[in-house]
């Protein structure tokens, strides 16, 4: 008797094959076109001290109060509050928002995936920018959307180009503001122009993962558009300044109908008890934000200046990382290897269409000292 195959490795499946093998598990064809997300490297075999500047995690880890809350919640055999009520109210209080319009998730990625599932589907289009955050393309493809990447101008989202790309099939526009990995931002006026130019059937998702780092009066992370009743969602995270990336906690601020849909599709307990309690405690330390922002602004400036003096092109950044241009992919790779030999891990961004660049997270002062010294050495060796 012929063996029955219940499972087929993805690489053995021909997505275009017209007649499916009977008795074979077949994923949806569009899933086979997805490249897995590449996380920042975190280990260097053999290195004595590893300095991880590859994932934009806050320089100082979680605030002390959050660590105490995690310890207190460690015996978490009971399910958490699925509605994350206390956390939503803490977020609302801290940022002056309406708790009913907040939905929490296992990282903001969770909410991005859910939005794509809600509004995507075969025959729909998701617009993002040329060097936009890669999760949008992954989440969109899973949901069956066609991904439309719009050119940027000076590594910055180009509102006119985005508006020109809208078709009747467009359902969502995703903008990371500021963007990862470029660090560039669009101002509140530009965001307003974008929203005003989009037809009502298009959801604008403003991903403000780095909002806590920004201290510019012309910046709006997006809540005002949500409150004005526009079809706009703002997403935020505890993974960056609040140092809780490992616990997975993010939130969305959305109009009531979108909130209703998110609650229907989210996992019933998508925020763990530890993340919930740590998030509330982290919000109760506003000095943490002040200290981290001041440190970041200062050290980002110092990195930019020192690396520019060493002859490198450093793109202006509003976030807790800088994008450094090495001129060509081979030099960027050589610089990456040199840094690794010194125990420093930074981020390759070839997958973002920037193979000649490296993205470097702003670390603590001593970490930045080592980074600067290593790149000065690299530049000196290059130029003899």
Ligand X SMILES: *Cc1c(COP(=O)(O)O)cnc(C)c1O
Residues in contact with ligand X by CB under 6 A are 56, 107-109, 133, 176, 180, 207, 209, 237, 239-240, 245, 250
User: For residues 29 and 17, is the Cβ–Cβ distance under 8 A?
Assistant: no
SS3 312: coil
The pair of structure tokens assigned to 374 is: 């290593």
- CB nearest ligand X: which residue? 107
Measure the CA–CA gap between 301 and 309, rounded to whole angstroms.
12
Rg (CA), the chain: 22
Q: Are 340 and 274 in contact (CB under 8 A)?
A: no
Shortest Å, Cβ 210 to ligand X: 7
Q: How far is the CB of 264 from ligand X (least distance, A)?
A: 21
Q: Looking at beta carbons only, is 176 or 278 nearer to ligand X? A: 176
Nearer to ligand X, 129 or 180 (CB): 180
Q: How far is the CB of 203 from ligand X (least distance, A)?
A: 16
- In terms of CB distance, is 13 or 289 closer to ligand X? 289
Q: Can you tell me which residue has the tokens 């109760």?
A: 284
SS3 of residue 147 by DSSP: strand
- Taking the least distance from each CB to ligand X, the nearer of 13 and 358 is 358
Q: What are the Cα distances from residue 106, in Å, to 23, 71, 113, 189, 247?
A: 35, 19, 11, 31, 8
How long is the chain? 384
Q: Which is nearer to ligand X, 80 or 243 (CB)?
A: 243
Nearer to ligand X, 108 or 368 (CB): 108
Distance CA 234, CA 362 (A): 24
Distance CA(60)–CA(292), nearest Å, equals 8
Nearer to ligand X, 184 or 239 (CB): 239
Shortest Cβ 367–ligand X spacing (Å): 19
Q: How far is CA 2 from the centre of its chain?
A: 48
Question: Could you tell me the smallest distance in angstroms from the CB atom of residue 249 to ligand X?
Answer: 7
Min dist CB 300 to ligand X, Å, is 15
- If the CB atoms of residues 120 and 132 are measured against ligand X, the closer one turns out to be 132
Task: Say whether the peptide bond before residue 178 is cis (omega within 30 degrees of 0).
Answer: yes
Tell me 342's DSSP state. T
The smaller minimum CB distance to ligand X, of residues 109 and 230, is found at 109
Closest separation in Å from C-beta 26 to ligand X: 30
Phi, psi dihedrals of residue 235, rounded to the nearest 5°: -115, 145
Q: How far is the CB of 157 from ligand X (least distance, A)?
A: 12
Least Å distance, CB 359 to ligand X, is 10
DSSP-H helix ranges across the chain: 29-32, 64-72, 85-95, 107-119, 135-142, 159-165, 188-197, 223-227, 256-265, 273-283, 286-309, 329-341, 365-382
């Amino acid at each position: 008797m012929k063996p029955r195959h219940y499972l087929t490795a993805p690489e053995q499946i021909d997505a275009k094959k017209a007649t499916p093998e009977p008795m074979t598990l077949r994923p949806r064809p569009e899933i086979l076109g997805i490249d897995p997300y590449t996380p920042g490297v975190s280990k260097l075999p053999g290195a004595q001290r590893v300095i991880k500047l590859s994932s934009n995690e806050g320089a100082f880890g979680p605030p002390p109060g959050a660590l105490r809350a995690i310890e207190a919640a460690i015996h978490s055999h009971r399910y958490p509050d699925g509605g994350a009520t206390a956390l939503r109210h803490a977020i609302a209080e801290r940022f002056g928002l309406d708790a009913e319009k907040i939905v929490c998730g296992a990282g903001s990625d969770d909410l991005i995936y859910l939005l794509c599932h809600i509004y995507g589907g075969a025959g729909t289009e998701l617009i993002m920018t040329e060097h936009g955050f890669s999760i949008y393309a992954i989440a969109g493809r899973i949901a069956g959307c066609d991904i439309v990447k719009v050119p940027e101008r000076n590594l910055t989202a180009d509102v006119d180009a985005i508006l020109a790309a809208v078709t009747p099939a467009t359902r969502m526009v995703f903008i990371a503001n500021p963007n990862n990995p470029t660090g560039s931002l669009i101002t509140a006026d530009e965001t307003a122009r974008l929203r005003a130019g989009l037809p009502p059937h298009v959801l604008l998702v403003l991903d403000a993962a780095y909002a806590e780092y920004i201290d510019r009066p012309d910046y709006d992370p997006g809540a005002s558009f949500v409150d004005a009743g526009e079809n706009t969602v703002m997403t935020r995270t505890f993974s960056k300044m609040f140092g809780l990336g490992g616990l997975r906690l993010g939130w969305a601020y959305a109009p009531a109908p979108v909130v209703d849909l998110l609650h229907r599709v989210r996992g019933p307990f998508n925020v763990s008890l530890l993340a919930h309690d740590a998030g509330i405690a982290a919000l109760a330390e506003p000095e943490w934000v002040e200290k981290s922002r001041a440190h970041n602004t200062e050290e980002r400036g110092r990195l930019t200046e020192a690396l520019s003096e060493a002859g490198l092109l450093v793109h202006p950044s509003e976030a807790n990382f800088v994008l450094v241009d090495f001129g060509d992919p081979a030099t960027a790779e050589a610089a990456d290897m040199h840094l690794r030999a010194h125990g420093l891990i930074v981020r390759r961004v070839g997958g973002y269409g920037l193979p000649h660049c490296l993205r470097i997270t702003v670390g603590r002062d001593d970490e930045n000292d080592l980074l600067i010294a290593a790149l000065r050495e690299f530049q000196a060796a290059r130029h003899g």
